[in-house]
Amino acid sequence: MYMTKRVKMRVNLAEARVLLERGEVVAVPTETVYGLAASLGQPEAIKKLFALKGRPLANPLIVHVSHWLEIAAYLDSFPLSLGLLADVFWPGPLTCVLPIRPSLIPEIARAGLTTAGFRIPSHPLTRKLLEQSGPLVMPSANLSGRPSATEASHVEEDFGSDFPVLDGGKCEKGVESTILVYRGEKWVVARLGAIAAEVFLPVLGYRPPLFKREEGQRPISPGQLFRHYAPRAALFLGPIPSGITHVIGFAERSYPFAKHSFILGSLFSPEEVAEKLYSTLRQLDIEKIEAAWVDTDFPRTGLWVTIAERLERAAQKNDELPHKKQPQINK
Ligand code: TXA
Ligand code: MG
């Protein structure tokens, strides 16, 4: 008799550690989004990780550690302001990119760059894992281009139900870490994230500017070159297209023209909206919805700026992405 039922491969902490030691890739929870972890010291495992995600090799990975003093060993120099940031924001949803001593980090992890991004996640399970496993590289645990995973079941949607996942429940923040890059003695924001840019003002004494790429200039964060966060459904952010039947919106508003509204949360709680963002985008795919209009009439301050940026990128059209390609129909 054949066993057709695949079992769910939820693993515990000890199992996750053993798999990582063996050079396997394991999905683990963080407070931002689930990460796809491989051991920093195992370039073959990191290669496997890039292949699994379908991630371009030019897109470097963030190094995750359990204590910020571990980071010092990799650095070329240690800016005073890194200590200030670490004190306030770590463990937590901040990634800092700094010049490193390249020989200490495998080339594949840093995509050949002489800088690397570091983060100390605050999720208790993964902190414990990091204490035992040592540094792990972790991109978000989604197929390249898809919305990030904020629940164990999202990881299984993208990688199959037999993929090893350390289940840590729903991610509290729901959007990725904010990335600050240290250049010319100052920090700039390379990716908006769970920490709003204005929150850095009292710590650094200035609000780090958002890095904007000039025409022809290389991006500060290679990931910005690639499409992200997109469901299969077409998203419309501008005027309401005629005939649209599905809406992504807010609890305080009614959308009488819509057959069905996906409610992101309250206009009074960007935290709630961020937390539900990717699961809502993924729900459109589960329900095989082809198009939805997104209500973007919300403030452009604090965490709302991150939410707006994610929605804009999720709505970008790009038929080149593997998961957006329509199957060929043979006539
Ligand atoms: O919240 C997060 O940061 C999650 C969790 C799992 O920790 N991780 C995450 O990783 O979002 P990923 O790989 O999906 O996004 C990392 C971003 C990419 O855009 C990458 O280009 C950028 O960080 N990055 C990594 N190293 C960099 C470097 N040395 N310089 C500039 N950007 C870098
Ligand atoms: Mg990602």
Q: What is the pLDDT of residues 169-209, one digit of tens each?
A: 999 999 999 999 999 899 999 999 999 999 999 999 999 99
Q: Tell me what percent of the residues of the chain surpass a pLDDT of 90.
A: 85
d(Cα 270, Cα 199) in Å, to the nearest integer?
A: 15
Ligand 1 pocket, 113 CB below 6 A? yes
Distance 5 CA to ligand 2 centre (A): 30
Nearest CA to ligand 1 atom 15: 139
Find the 250 Cα to ligand 1 centroid distance in Å. 29
Mean pLDDT of all residues belonging to the chain: 91
Ligand 1 contact via 221 beta carbon (within 6 Å): yes
Q: pTM of the prediction?
A: 0.93
User: What is the average per-residue pLDDT within 34-55?
Assistant: 97
Structure tokens at 168: 């840590």
Q: How confident is the model at residue 46 (pLDDT cuts 50, 70, 90)?
A: very high
Q: How far apart are the first and last CA of the chain?
A: 38
DSSP state string for 131-153: HHH--EE--BSS-TTSPPP-SHH
At 113 the pLDDT is: 95
Region 62-90: what's the mean pLDDT? 95
Rg over alpha carbons for the chain, rounded to the nearest Å, is 20
Q: Is the CB of 247 under 6 A from ligand 1?
A: no
Residue 32 CA: nearest ligand 1 atom is 1
Q: Which ligand is nearest to the CA of 147?
A: 2
| 211 confidence band (pLDDT: 50, 70, 90) | confident
Q: Residue 213's pLDDT is what?
A: 67
| pLDDT tens-digit readout, 122-154 | 999 999 999 999 999 999 999 999 999 999 999
Residue 296's alpha-carbon distances to 39, 87, 290, 300, in angstroms, are 39, 35, 19, 10
For 278-319, write each residue's pLDDT tens digit: 999 999 999 999 999 999 999 999 999 999 999 999 998 754
Residue-wise over 109-144: b if at least 16 C-beta within 10 A, else e? bbbebebbbbbbbbbebbbebbeebebbbbbbbbbb
A 10 A CB-CB count for 153 gives: 16
Please tell me the number of the ligand nearest to residue 138's CA: 1
Going from the Cα of 311 to the center of ligand 1, the distance in angstroms, rounded, reads: 18
Q: Is 244 in the pocket of ligand 1 (CB under 6 A)?
A: no
Q: Is the pLDDT of residue 1 over 90?
A: no
Residue 294 pLDDT? 98
pLDDT band at 216 (very low <50, low <70, confident <90, very high): low
